[in-house]
């Protein structure tokens, strides 16, 4: 079938890892419409590039073939399908029924559900009973369920449950006032209200409490403080180059990918070292994000978000703006996602690339030769996502000394609810008048397909150990470093350990450095915390990944989603616990690391009405990858007096 809207995109122009273009997305949707009748009552949950396998990358580059994978479903009967579409021939090459699988939530459903609910007589009446009559100031915000929490009478449906929010005026904060105790339960396929949970407490909860929930300058009722301008200029331009989506900077080289689910994906990361491009990682991205709310009250017990698997970081990506989101000389890349009909949607300035000054990189002051100091700079590749009330700002940073850092900043509006005077819940912090923000946790799972000097790698647990006092260690000072190879997947389940300062080294077993030891990178955890969930809890059952700081698996192309491919309405985790149950060998092979980090968010008054960024990160640091400080050749900066 020929594309009717315009000439097909020349396939050879795209690198096999370049994200799908708007035209390719249109072609996929048109092909499915024509060849499988995917139209009318169907929705498309995702259209994604099929990335060539590592060993097929070279041949894919040569022959230019590309294909897309689609998850779609018929809302009439709820049946889901996986399709493959060959983008050159525009034919459906695979069509697989997925019985019992519930595709991810779509942005269209979120909007259509809000429209539908705000017209429901039951909701209008329930709000009127609380004194709310202007429905234009009401927002409903639908969340996904875990299957264990679905009432039996609604089993099998594409179910959602919703909060109801009320704002003071047309453009004031929609999340300022939680209409506590009011939760529509909806069937998203039929797009109908099934029931309205209403637990209004007529004595204690009469009316919404007065709160200050605003953040717009004209609504905060206080003058803005003064700050002088701060500008970053690079009069001679930037020191990175972008050739298509191939980025080169200060010996680093990588490709920039993007998809609907993971958002930014970094491919084929390498370091140019004395004429050799040395591989470090094949692919790095966020594979899941799990946010359990730790509040058992009726308003919050269902609230566990899977922001990657249920909603998609790519779909939630928002545009960045020069001078506001990022300062200096910026290069932006747009991203293309799609709606649930398969129409492409372009997100302008979705990915930001720029250099940042990073203070002092190294320094020494010598009596004779004077001061030698080098300023460090870093290359930052970032994207921002808005998941309804909350923002995640994601930064991958590359440094001149070979370090990589991944930082996530959480900001936006916290979920709150109200409580009757004198009945403050224990599982949150009071942040305003009769209003509290429940405790919750943000677990992020980074999928790190590392290839340190190639695919033949072993992961070692690195621990510091204090030697006992002995004749050779009379003062109890001796400290040694122990390295334990992780041989199978059960070894690969690792936990943060403060006592031993545990970290993990991913070492090449095929090459040696100039010192005769194994070139390696070390994963240095910086944002680890325990799950603190009973193993029987539905949230833990759906996300066993959060039970460990690190999981290591042998590379398998189909193993991408640590909580399973379909976390929407899931009962149990179909990902890492299932794969690793085989206890496969992970030594001396192509390994994938799954690092769990994030924020243990004990909410505080200062996080309201809009939360100052909270940060979490991890580092990947070269450890014998280089024979000496790789930033020795960074030139001094001209000084000024
Ligand atoms: Cu939080």
Tell me the CA–centroid distance for residue 544 and ligand 1, in Å: 20
Distance CA 29, CA 1 (A): 12
**Coil, strand or helix at 66:** coil
pLDDT, mean of residues 436-450: 98
Dihedral class, residue 221 (left if φ above 0, else alpha if ψ from -120 to 50, else beta) = left
Q: Flag whether pLDDT at 260 surpasses 70.
A: yes
* pTM (predicted TM-score): 0.96
Cα angle value 561/53/45 (rounded, 5°): 45
Residues with Cβ within 8 Å of 9's Cβ and at least 6 positions away in sequence, in order, are: 21, 23, 24
The tens digit of pLDDT for each residue in 65-116 reads 899 999 999 999 999 999 999 999 999 999 999 999 999 999 999 999 999 9
Name the strands in the sheet holding 42-49, side by side, starting at the edge strand that comes first in the sequence: 42-49, 67-74, 80-86, 91-98
Tokens 């396929």 correspond to 189
**How many angstroms separate the alpha carbon of residue 409 from the centre of ligand 1?**
10
- Tell me which residue of 177, 178, 179, 181 sits closest to 200, measured CA to CA: 181
In whole numbers, what is the pLDDT of the chain averaged over residues? 95
**How far is ligand 1, taken at its centre, from the CA of residue 211, in Å?**
20
H or E, element range at 338: strand 330-338
- The answer to whether residues 46 and 103 touch, using CB atoms and an 8 Å cutoff, is yes
Report DSSP letters for 185-252, one per residue: EEETTTTEEEEEEE---TTT--SPPP-----SGGGS-SPPPP--------TT--SEEEETTEEEETTE
pLDDT > 70 in the chain, percent = 97
Q: Give the distance, in angstroms, between the CA of residue 582 and the centroid of all CA atoms in the same chain.
A: 27
- pLDDT for residue 204: 56
Distance 385 CA to ligand 1 centre (A): 14
What residue spans of 362-444 are helical by DSSP H?
none
- The H or E element containing residue 379 is strand 370-387
Q: Among residues 145, 166, 175, 390, which one is catalytic?
A: 390
DSSP H/E element including 58: helix 57-63
**What is the distance between the alpha carbons of residues 141 and 385, in angstroms, rounded to a whole number?**
17
Q: 3-state class of 264 per DSSP?
A: strand
Which H/E stretch holds residue 541? Answer: helix 538-542
Quick check: 228 pLDDT over 70? yes
Residue 298 has pLDDT above 80, yes or no: yes
Confidence of residue 61 (pLDDT cuts 50, 70, 90): confident
- Find out whether 386 and 380 touch, Cβ atoms under 8 Å: no
| Residue 11: pLDDT over 60 | no
CA angle 60, 61, 67 (to 5 degrees): 45
What is the Å distance from ligand 1's center to 600 Cα?
8
Q: Report the Cα 532 to chain-centroid distance in Å.
A: 21
Q: How many CB atoms lie within 10 A of CB 140?
A: 23
Residue 400 phi/psi, 5-degree rounding, is -70, -20
Residue 383 CA to ligand 1 centre (angstroms): 18
Q: Which pLDDT value is given to residue 64? A: 84
Number of Cβ within 10 Å of residue 485's Cβ equals 15
Distances 206 to 174, 210, 317, 497, 543 between C-alpha atoms, Å: 20, 12, 38, 49, 38
Task: Give the mean model confidence (pLDDT) for residues 294-303.
Answer: 97
SS3 state of residue 24? helix
Residues 6+ apart with CB under 8 A from 332: 320, 322, 348, 349, 350, 351, 352, 353
Q: In angstroms, what is the span from residue 116 Cα to ligand 1's centroid? A: 29
First to last CA, the chain: 69
Task: Give me 63's structure tokens.
Answer: 């022959």
SS3 of the chain: helix, strand, coil, percent, to 5: 15, 40, 45
Give the confidence band of 1 by pLDDT, cuts at 50, 70, 90.
very low
pLDDT at 54: 86
Report how far ligand 1's centroid is from the alpha carbon of 586 (Å): 34
**Ligand 1 midpoint to CA 216 (Å):** 21
Predicted pLDDT at 302: 98
Question: Cα(104)–Cα(72) distance, rounded to whole angstroms?
Answer: 10
Whether 18 is catalytic is no
Tokens encoding 134: 């202007």
**Cα of 120 from ligand 1 centre, angstroms:** 31
Please, are residues 200 and 183 in contact by the beta-carbon 8 Å criterion? no
pLDDT at 207 over 80: no
| Residue 307 bears catalytic tag | yes
- Could you read off the pLDDT of 536-545 as tens digits, one per residue? 999 999 999 9
User: Is the pLDDT confidence value at 206 over 70?
Assistant: no
Compute the distance between CA of residue 273 and CA of residue 362 in angstroms, rounded to an integer: 20
CB contact at 8 A, 144 and 568: yes
Neighbours of 638 (CB within 10 A): 5
Higher pLDDT, 201 or 409: 409
Q: Which two tokens stand for residue 470?
A: 């002995």
Q: Are 33 and 39 in contact (CB under 8 A)?
A: yes
What tens digit of pLDDT does each residue of 577-596 get? 999 999 999 999 999 999 99
Q: C-alpha distances in angstroms, 229 versus 234, 280, 394? A: 16, 39, 25
pLDDT band at 200 (very low <50, low <70, confident <90, very high): confident
**Ligand 1 mean position to 599 CA, how many Å?**
7
- For the record, the structure tokens of 260 come out as 């609907």
CA distance 288 to 282: 18
Q: 611 C-alpha to center of ligand 1: Å?
A: 9
What torsion do the CA atoms of 579, 582, 586, 591 make, to the nearest 10 degrees? Answer: -10
Q: Which residue has the tokens 């095929």?
A: 510
Of 307, 451, 453, 590, which one is the catalytic site residue? 307
d(CA 221, CA 421): 26
CA of 228 to the centre of ligand 1 (A): 31
Confidence band for 4, pLDDT divided at 50, 70 and 90: very low
Q: How many angstroms does the Cα of residue 442 sit away from the middle of ligand 1?
A: 6
User: 607 C-alpha vs ligand 1 centroid, how far in Å?
Assistant: 9
Cis upstream peptide for 145 (omega within 30°)? no
* pLDDT of 172 above 50: yes
Res 3 pLDDT > 50: no
Distance, CA of 243 to CA of 264 (rounded, Å) = 17
What separation in Å is there between the alpha carbon of 340 and the centre of ligand 1? Answer: 29
Coil, helix or strand at residue 622: strand
How far apart are the CA of 146 and the centre of ligand 1, in A? 20
* Structure confidence by residue, pLDDT tens digits, 140-170: 999 999 999 999 999 999 999 999 999 999 9
Count, residues in the chain:
641
């Amino acid at each position: 079938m020929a594309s009717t809207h315009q000439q097909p995109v020349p396939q050879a122009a795209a690198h096999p890892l370049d994200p799908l273009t708007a035209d390719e997305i249109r072609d996929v949707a048109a092909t499915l419409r024509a060849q499988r009748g995917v139209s009318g009552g169907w929705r498309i949950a995702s259209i994604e590039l099929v990335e060539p396998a590592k060993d097929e990358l070279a041949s894919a580059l040569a022959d230019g073939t590309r294909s897309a994978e689609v998850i779609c479903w018929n809302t009439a009967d709820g049946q889901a399908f996986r399709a493959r579409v060959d983008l050159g021939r525009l034919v459906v090459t695979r069509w697989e029924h997925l019985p019992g699988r519930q595709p991810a939530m779509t942005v269209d459903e979120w909007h259509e559900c809000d429209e539908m609910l705000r017209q429901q007589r039951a909701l209008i009446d329930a709000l009127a009973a609380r004194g709310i009559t202007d429905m234009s100031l009401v927002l409903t915000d639908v969340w996904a369920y875990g299957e264990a929490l679905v009432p039996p009478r609604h089993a099998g449906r594409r179910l959602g449950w919703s909060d109801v929010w009320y704002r003071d005026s047309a453009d004031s904060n929609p999340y300022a006032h939680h209409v506590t105790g009011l939760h529509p339960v909806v069937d998203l396929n039929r797009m109908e209200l099934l029931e309205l949970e209403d637990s209004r407490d007529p004595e204690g909860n009469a009316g919404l409490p007065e709160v200050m929930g605003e953040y717009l300058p004209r609504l905060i009722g206080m003058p803005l403080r003064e700050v002088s301008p701060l500008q970053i200029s690079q009069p001679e331009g930037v020191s990175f180059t972008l050739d298509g989506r191939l980025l080169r900077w200060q010996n680093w080289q990588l490709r920039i990918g993007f998809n609907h689910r993971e958002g930014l994906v970094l491919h084929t990361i390498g370091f140019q070292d004395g004429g050799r491009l040395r591989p470090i990682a094949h692919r790095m991205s966020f594979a899941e994000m799990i946010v359990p709310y730790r509040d058992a009250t009726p308003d919050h017990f269902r609230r566990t978000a899977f922001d990657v698997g249920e909603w998609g970081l790519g779909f939630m990506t928002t545009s960045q703006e020069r001078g506001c989101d990022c300062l200096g000389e910026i290069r932006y890349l747009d991203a293309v996602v799609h709606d649930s009909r398969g129409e492409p949607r372009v997100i302008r300035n979705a990915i930001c690339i720029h250099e940042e000054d990073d203070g002092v990189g190294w320094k020494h002051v010598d009596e004779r030769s004077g001061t030698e100091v080098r300023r460090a700079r870093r290359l930052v590749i970032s994207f921002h996502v808005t998941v309804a009330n909350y923002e995640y700002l994601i930064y991958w940073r590359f440094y001149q000394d070979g370090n990589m850092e991944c930082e996530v900043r959480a900001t936006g509006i916290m979920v709150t609810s109200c409580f009757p005077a004198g009945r403050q819940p224990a599982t949150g912090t009071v942040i305003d008048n009769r209003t509290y923000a429940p405790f919750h946790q943000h677990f992020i799972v980074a999928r790190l397909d590392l290839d340190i000097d190639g695919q033949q790698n072993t992961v070692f647990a690195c621990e510091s150990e204090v030697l006992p006092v002995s004749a050779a260690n009379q003062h109890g000072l001796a400290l040694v470093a122990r390295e334990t190879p992780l041989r199978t997947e059960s070894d690969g389940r690792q936990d943060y350990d403060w006592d031993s300062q545990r970290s993990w080294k991913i070492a090449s077993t095929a090459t040696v450095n100039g010192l005769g030891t194994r070139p390696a990178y070390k994963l240095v955890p910086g944002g680890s915390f325990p799950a603190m969930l009973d193993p029987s809890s539905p949230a833990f059952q759906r996300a066993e990944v959060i039970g460990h700081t690190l999981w290591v698996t042998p590379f398998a192309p189909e193993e991408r989603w640590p909580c399973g491919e379909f976390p929407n309405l899931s009962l149990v985790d179909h990902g890492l616990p299932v794969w690793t149950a085989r206890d496969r060998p992970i030594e001396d092979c192509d390994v994938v690391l799954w690092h769990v980090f994030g924020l243990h968010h004990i909410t505080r008054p200062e996080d309201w009405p809009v939360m100052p960024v909270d940060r979490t990160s991890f580092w990947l640091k070269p450890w014998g990858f280089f024979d000496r400080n790789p930033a020795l050749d960074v030139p001094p900066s001209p000084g000024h007096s």
